[in-house]
Structure formats: structure tokens, C-alpha cells
Amino acid sequence: MFELVKFINVNSSEQNSKEYLQALYQRLETLCDVLGIIIEKKEEILDSDIEALIAERQKRKELCPCRRDQRYVVRTGNHFRGYQRRSKMEKGIDAYIKEQFHLPPVDIRTYSPLTLAYIGDGIYDLIIRSIIVGKGNTKASRLHQETSKLVRAQAQSEMIDLLLPYLSEEETDIYRRGRNAKSPTMAKNATMTDYRKATGFEALMGYLYLKDEFERMVELIKIALGEEEEGKEQTF
């Protein structure tokens, strides 16, 4: 084998044909295979090189936060606009919306009870719809019927009666402010008492939502629904 290597080194040059050089290489490779010798030397990566590669990768991640977040591009006309999609919403829903739409911070105490009831009505309706839809696919008319049973003034009035023992002093105060607020309108098919209590219930929902206390809001709704439908199984 050493004689063959010496022969190759002495007699191989650019003037030799590709076929001739390939034949010499194959002969050397065959002999090395018999002896278990690896003739292709691959560059080894040392520990220091690995540490350097890790440090370089970490540096690129710090300079480009989009490596942690999913980034996608939307084309508008002849321009491309980049957006980042967070893998996890770290803040509450209201705080997240305000951040994304660059809305100024507002002191919740400046909101009137009817304003709290306005947003509370919407978020409570969304939760109830999510519950109803989550129980299975059915006709839209049936979904509307089941949702209406829980969002009407009478149902909300009954819920707040169940929830009063569980409310904190602050939550009770918000409910009373909403209940005592003078509204220019009145819900159809509801007594004045139920309507006022329902307005207080919605004001409480809106207050908890704007405070990013979504878990507390869901907790109270679960208590109300559990008391109202204890021992029953809803099916469509």
C-alpha cells in the first residue's frame, strides 16, 4: 500500500487523464478498505468551536426577536408588511387589544356604570356563546335559543342573586352602581327590577374584564351556571 501511495505521488499530475487518476484512487481505496483504514479525513469540531457556534446563535436570536415569534408577511399593493404572531398571549384580553391597537390607558374608575355594562354585556354574551357552541354542532336557531335563555335579563337577575354571597366588597359596590344607574332604555319582556339587576350584573362583568380579571369573571359565571343547573346535563 505504501508503495502504491509513493507511486501515486510521483506519477500523478495534471497531465494524467481523469480515468487514470480515478483508477489509482480506486486501487488505493480498495487496499484501505481491506485494512479498515479511512482515507477521507473529516475536520473535527472541537469543544471550543461548538461553544463559539452556540454563542453566535444566541447572539443572532437576541438581535432578531422574530426567531422566537412566528413572523408572517402580508402583501398590500406593491409593498410587504411584516407582522409578528405571538405564540402565547401573556396579558389579559383587554390589555392585549389595547396594546395591539395602541390605545391609551384609561382609569377604570372613570367609566360610568352603563359603560361597564355595555362592555360586560358583550363579553358575557361571548362566554355563553362559547359554552353553547363548545357542547357540539347544531342548528344556528337552536344555538340562539340556548344562548338567549342565559343572556336575557331574567336569567342574569337570577344569577346575580346566587352570586351576591360570593362577591367581594368591591365587586358588590360595582354591582350596586350598575343596578342603580338610570338607563334611557329597558329590555323587552323583563320587569324593571330584573332589568336593573341585570344591568348591575353586566357592569360587574365589564369591570372584571377591563381589570383583566378574566379568570375571576369565568369563576363567577361557573358558580351561577352550576347553581342554576345543578344535577342537569345539557344536550342538544
Q: Which residues are catalytic?
A: 121
CA distance 236 to 140: 12
Could you tell me which residues come within 8 angstroms of residue 225 by beta carbon, excluding any fewer than 6 positions away?
Answer: 131, 150, 159
Kindly write down the DSSP assignment for every residue of 107-131, as one continuous string.
-GGGS-HHHHHHHHHHHHHHHHHHH
Please give the sequence-ordered ranges of beta strands (E in DSSP) within 127-178, or none if there are none. none
Q: Which of 151, 159, 163 is nearest to 125 (CA)?
A: 151
Task: Kindly calculate the radius of gyration of the chain based on its CA atoms and give it in whole angstroms.
Answer: 36
